[in-house]
Amino acid sequence: MSNAPLMPMATAVWLVENTSLTFKQIANFCDLHEVEVQGIADGEVAKGIKGYNPIISGQLSREEIDLSSKDENRPLQLKGVDIEISNDEKKIKKYIPLSKRQDKPDSALWLIKQHNILKDSQIAKLVGVTKNSVTSIRNKSYWNYNNLNPKDPVALNLFTQKDLLDAIEKAERRIKREKKLKEKQQKTNSN
């Protein structure tokens, strides 16, 4: 894995909006292309992505930003690559206000579109909806399907980037297993 911050696009959005760093510095730090960062500044790239503050997450310090803002040839340094991703609040079901509840089906749709290798049960567990809801969103029979707007659940704080990466890895392992099993069956059948 490269030394990019968590949620590089959202971090770039925040850096563009809140600092005087050059596009090149932001691009290098976020492991993006300079043209992408220029596009973020112009509002053509990362539409709808909420800025992610790298200072709050402990990936950058205010001093680091200030030093690089004064010297455009100085690259930003990612603070401590092993970011603390806490698992303390893992099993606590938190109350979701009414205004946020639409985010769940929207997030399920986003996961179906962006990571279609995830099983419905995995999406349901991540987002916190029923498996039936996810299945109906996938086959477009969900009662409110026409009003759904795919939204990134990590940016909405429904779960962490680590949760998403773990789920994707699990799905990839499952697909590999199924593929091996299929090949094994084909060999057995051809003999």
CB distance 139 to 94 below 8 Å = no
Question: What is the full per-residue pLDDT of the chain (191 aa) written as tens digits?
Answer: 456 778 888 899 999 888 889 999 999 998 899 999 998 888 888 878 888 888 887 888 888 888 888 998 998 888 764 544 454 444 555 566 666 778 899 999 999 999 999 999 999 999 988 999 999 999 999 999 999 999 999 888 888 999 999 999 999 999 999 999 989 888 888 77
The pLDDT of residue 104 is 92
What is the model's pLDDT at position 55?
Answer: 83
Provide the pLDDT for residue 99: 67
State the Cα–Cα distance between residues 53 and 26, nearest whole angstrom: 13
SS3 sequence of the chain: CCCCCCCHHHHHHHHHHHCCCCHHHHHHHHCCCHHHHHHHHHCCCCCCCCCCCCCCCCCCCHHHHHHHHHCCCCCCCCCCCCCCCCCCCCCCCCCCCHHHHCHHHHHHHHHHHHCCCCCHHHHHHHHCCCHHHHHHHHCCCCCCHHHCCCCCCCCCCCCCHHHHHHHHHHHHHHHHHHHHHHHHHHHHHHC
Give the per-residue pLDDT at 59: 84
